[in-house]
Structure 1
Amino acid sequence: MILVQVYVDDIIFGSTNQSLCEEFVTNMQGEFDMSMMGELSFFLGLQVKQLKEGTFIHQTKYTKELLKKYDMAGCKVSNIPMSTNCYLDNDVSGQGVDQTQYRGIIGSLLYLTASRPDIMFSVCVCARYQAAPKQSHMNTVKKILKYLKGTINCGLWYPKGTSPTLVVFSDSDFVGCKMDRKSTNGSCHIFGDCLVTWHSKKQACVALSIAEAEYVAAGSCCAQTIWLKQQLQDFGLKLEHIPLRCDNISAINITKNPIMHSRTKHIEVRHHFIRDHVEKGDCDVEFIETENQLADIFTKPLPKERFYKLRTNLGILCEDNLS
């Protein structure tokens, strides 16, 4: 098997069979005027470092350019991207800032989340205030940049030789938004020991309980899981009973109980999507202690010690610490 990815006129490909790669190159060069750039090291802003033990993907060059562009190259360093006591709102009476600059920073940071899941939550929170950004919002964004200054060479580590298993983590921060009282979904998918997808998004509805918020989050996560399962089938890997780990027992019970209860009858039908796939055996919702919930980093700002622990467990490492 050979895997090929095409973006406009850029192509990357790979296979464990060298002859397949050589045949692909011969066929492509016979049809198109193209040049070989050698082993993959840079693609769409992503820097790729291939080592004997695995592959390291980072955006160090992009991060340096970002800090320089917004005059933060010489800033002080922050240990975390967002303080635990940070509660943003519209700040109607606050001093306004340049909308174009604010939106530019947010857009740049969102692109950076392709290799830096550790800033995903904080960037998504700041992105909610692009319509009328205030100085308080800009200060929060600059704290993210200060954090990047201290972790400029961090990225995602993908070790070789991991088993082809998929494990899913789903979490929710109940009424995390203090303005509309909506909760925040957070999820991630671990294939082998490698982080392959991550997600942080405010829910579209107001949950009446922690269990409901966690149930809605699990349903959203299940949809992504089914998509990944289908993608893996295209590669010849069929997975059943994929573990989806949630830290709320009540939410787990709702996924397994088809009976409509008075406390759940108001939940929109689309959120019961997960029940069908649990019954089919596509995924199994399992309990996990909050301490080991990897998706926690995508739902709320965390203390430094816990933030560092989850960051490491997700495979976000500094280039200097590669084994």
Structure 2
Amino acid sequence: MCTEEDETEKVSYQEAVGCLLYLVQGSRPDIAFAVNDVSRFNAKHGKANWTAVKRIFRYLKDTINLKLHFKGAETLNGFSDADWASDIDKRRSCTGFAFNPRGGAISWRSKRQPTVALFSTEVEYMAAVVQEATWLKQFGAEIDECFKKEHILIACDNQSAIKLAETNCFRSRSKHIEVWHHHIRDRINDGTIAVRYISTEEMAADNLTKAVPSNKHQLCLNKMGLNIKN
């Protein structure tokens, strides 16, 4: 009798996930969360995991005409979001970010955080993508001098996280956050970045951290510059 394990050993799971990872890195930020999720089971996958991979390929087939488009002024803005304790096994949170100069994404990521966050503010604070923003500003400055003068605006939908980043006040609930997480304060003080509040309804990085309804998914596509155009 053929078991589920025997059936899944016959499929090219790792090769399929590798192809999806290539697309994620190159031009399809909209599948980053889903691909990140299925890639966690490369070593040991089951029938449900293989079904999820096939669903991603079906989605790609239905949206084959989606392309990244760029327009408007050259301004480096970013979106940073996190989904608290979404990993039901290890209770780790998922972080997502996207940087959109000229209305189209050039840098994005969806990944599980390496540590367990104790409350949602800490999650959003760790999700502040300071290192990526700093590198993008330095890279942009080599191309255009205007990037040296302007800060990168990062949108976050957690007001407590923004206040924690902008002040040096001691708080008993946040004293355990590692020192390197406070690196964001230095980058705010030296003008490299600025953080602003944005409502969850307008957060473009939502589909990088969780499964979202179709209308929200479409909003995220539009904000990241993924559109069907000739």
Task: Report the TM-score range of the alignment, normalised by the length of the smaller protein.
Answer: over 0.9
Describe the SS at the equivalent of 1:243: strand
- Deviation track 1:266-296 (CA, whole Å, cap 9, x = no partner) reads 1111111111111112111100011111011
CA-to-aligned-CA distance 1:7-49 (integer Å, 9 cap, x gap): xxxxxxxxxxxxxxxxxxxxxxxxxxxxxxxxxxxxxxxxxxx
Alignment gaps of 5+ in structure 2: none
Alpha carbons 2:82, 2:127 under 8 Å: kept = yes
How does the TM-score come out when normalised to structure 2? Answer: 0.92
Counterpart position of 2:63? 151
CA distance in 2, matches of 1:164, 1:156: 15
* SS of equivalent to 1:266: coil
Whole-Å Cα distance in 2 between the matches of residues 275 and 95 of structure 1? 51
2:10 is aligned with 1:102: no
Q: How does 1:253-292 map to 2 (within 5 A)?
A: 253-292=163-202
**Bigger share in helix:** 2
Q: Distance in 2 between matches of 1:99 and 1:175?
A: 33
Q: CA deviation at 1:236?
A: 3.1
Counterpart-to-counterpart distance in 2, 1:112 and 1:313: 19
Greater shift, 150-159 or 301-310, is seen at: 150-159
Name the residue aligned to 1:142: 54
Q: Is the 8 A contact 1:167 1:191 kept in 2?
A: yes
User: How many aligned residue pairs are there?
Assistant: 223
Match of 2:41 among 129, 152, 156: 129
Instruction: Report the Cα offset of residue 194 of structure 1.
Output: 2.2
Asked if residue 250 in structure 1 is aligned to residue 145 in structure 2, the reply is: no
Q: Deviations over 1:56-91 (max 9, x none)?
A: xxxxxxxxxxxxxxxxxxxxxxxxxxxxxxxxxxxx
Bigger RCO (CA 8 Å, 6+ sep): 2
Say which SS state the counterpart of residue 70 (structure 2) adopts. Answer: strand
Structure 2 residue aligned with 1:229: 137
* Letter of the structure 1 residue corresponding to residue 90 of structure 2: D
Query: Contact 2:33–2:110 at 8 Å: present in 1 too?
Result: yes
Q: What is the TM-score of this pair, normalised by structure 1?
A: 0.66
Q: Conserved in 1, the CA contact under 8 Å of 2:157 and 2:198?
A: yes
Identity %: 37
Q: How does 1:95-244 map to 2 (within 5 A)?
A: 95-96=4-5, 97-98=8-9, 101-113=12-24, 114-159=26-71, 162-218=72-128, 221-237=129-145, 238-244=148-154
Q: Give the Cα separation in 2 of the matches to 1:311 and 1:199.
A: 14
Answer whether contact 2:94 2:113 (CA < 8 A) is retained.
yes
- The offset of 1:95, in angstroms, is 3.0
| 1: CA distance, partners of 2:76 / 2:133 | 9
Counterpart AA for 1:217: A
Deviation at 1:99, TM superposition (A): 7.5
CA pair 157-236 structure 1, distance change in 2 beyond 3 A:
closer
Moved over 4 A (4+): none
In 2 relative to 1, CA 99–264 (structure 1 residues): closer, same or farther, beyond 3 Å? farther
Q: What secondary structure sits across from 2:55 in the alignment?
A: helix
Q: Which has the higher strand share?
A: 1
Whether the aligned pair in 1 keeps the contact of 2:152 and 2:194 (CA below 8 Å) is yes
> For residues 170 and 239 of structure 1, what CA distance do their matches in structure 2 show?
22
Distance 1:131 1:179 in 2: 16
| Cα deviation digits, residues 145-196 of structure 1 (max 9, x gap) | 111111122221223xx21211111000011111100001100001122211
Say if 1:99 and 1:249 are closer, same or farther in 2 by CA, change over 3 A.
farther
Q: Secondary structure of the equivalent of 2:175?
A: coil
Please give the alpha-carbon distance, in whole angstroms, between the structure 2 residues aligned to 1:317 and 1:241.
27
Quote the residue 1:306 is aligned against. Answer: 216
Q: 1:86 corresponds to which residue?
A: none
| Aligned partners of 2:166 and 2:188 also within 8 Å | yes
State the SS of the aligned residue for 1:158.
coil
8 Å CA contact 2:204–2:219 kept in 1: the answer is no
